[in-house]
Structures are given as structure tokens and as C-alpha cells.
Amino acid sequence: MRFQRARTQKQIDLRLEEILKASRKLFKKQNYEKISIKTIAEATTLSRATIYTYYPTKGDIFLAILGQEYQQVQAEIAQIFAAEQNRVTRNRFCQLLTQVLLRHPTFLRLLTLQKTLIEPQSTPEHLTSFQESSQSFFTLLSQLCQQVFPTGRQMQREIFLTQLLIYLAGFYPILASQKSYFQVQEDIPADKLLYNAIYNLTGILM
């Protein structure tokens, strides 16, 4: 098969989309560790060399997918909270955040792998780009926390967001009915477990 160089931004964007779409499909069926640039290339019309041109490592590919997930979750959070017209109580804040997060299992699954596998396998350039693009997600959550918990200080909001991210990084195994690293709580539904965790964490903001 003969591969032609992408000469326009549209062609480049189409290739990036093809790579990420194929990687997402593989991720639904396989563990992250079993996926390689080779298997991704086999699932696309592109060669391994072409994929390396855009994503030097597998970590870079999944970091890009996680970036997409951050954007999707952020957009949904912004939309659903805007519909509440600034009349959100502590309970409602936790309910809405729980609902949005549970609608994005890929996001939760990638968070589990972010610090242990994805970021260590990513190049500095892609990691920096990801960190810059995902910052708007945390800015939005911080603003919402300020609206719902006006007495909380900036440091408290930062602690809340850090602790929330740490909790979410270990939540997917529970959602997938697998053993977590800390405790198995099979008698508690995943949605209630997540709600309770978020509710308890909001105590930091009080």
C-alpha cells in the first residue's frame, strides 16, 4: 500500500481523527497494555511510520483521547449547571456531578491509567499540550464550587479538586465490578458510592 503525505490541515485532521477513533475502538475491547502502535495501525489505513509522525508514543495517543474526554465532560457539566440557573444546593451539586461522570465511563477508565501508564509513556510536548488544554476543566469546576460554596477559599477549592481527581482515579474498577485497590463495596451501587464520595469531599469547601 502506498501512503501519501498529508498536505493540508484538513488531511492532517482526518488522519488524527482516524487514529484516535481506531484507538478508542481497540480500547473498548482490550486492555491498554495489549494495545500497540502496530495494532492501531492495523485498524487504520495508515502505516506505523505515519502514526509515529503524529503520535511518537502510544501514551500520546491516549493522552489525546483523554483530552477529548475532558472537553466532553466539561461541556456537559457547563450545560447542565447552566440550566440550573445558579440555584444549586450542595446535594444538587453532588447529584449533577455524579450523573455527568457516570455517563462517561471511558473518561473514568482513562483517569485510572493516566498517572501510572499514559503520562509516563507520553512525550513532554504532548504532555504539556494536554495539561494546558485540560486546565479549563478544572477552572470550570473551581468556578462552580465558588458559586455553590461561596464561603470556601481558593486553597480549599484546590484541595477539593485534587482529592476528587485522586478518588476518580480509583473509581473505575468499582464501576466495572472489579476489585479496587482499597476496598470492595459490592453492596453499594456505583452511583450512590460516587455521590457519597463527592458529598463527603465537598465538606472541604464548607
For residues 71 and 162, state if they share a domain.
yes
| 144 in the same domain as 96 | yes
180 and 96: one domain? yes
Same domain, 45 and 103: no
- Residue 151 CA to residue 77 CA, distance in Å, equals 22
Q: What is the pTM of this model?
A: 0.89
54, 72, 93 — which closes off a domain? 54
- Tell me: do 105 and 188 sit in the same domain: yes
120 and 23 share a domain?
no
CA nearest to 114, candidates 131, 92, 102: 131
Indicate the number of domains in the chain. Answer: 2
- CATH number of the domain encompassing residue 27: 1.10.10
**62/4 same-domain check:** no
Q: Which of 97, 105, 165, 101 is nearest to 135 (CA)?
A: 165
Spatial contact of 107 and 66, defined as CB atoms under 8 Å apart: yes
Q: How confident is the model at residue 2 (pLDDT cuts 50, 70, 90)?
A: very low
Domain that holds residue 80: 57-205
Looking at the fold, whether 62 and 50 belong to one and the same domain comes out as no
Residue pLDDT, tens place only, 126-141: 999 999 999 999 999 9
Give the residue-averaged pLDDT of 184-197. Answer: 78
Residue where a domain stops, chosen among 31, 54, 77: 54
Q: Do 162 and 185 fall within a single domain?
A: yes
pLDDT > 80? residue 160 = yes
Per-residue pLDDT reduced to its tens digit, 32-69: 999 999 999 999 999 999 999 999 999 999 999 999 99
Do 94 and 195 form a contact (C-beta atoms < 8 A)? yes
Q: Helices in the chain by DSSP H: which ranges? A: 9-29, 37-42, 48-54, 58-82, 90-102, 105-113, 124-148, 154-169, 172-175, 190-201
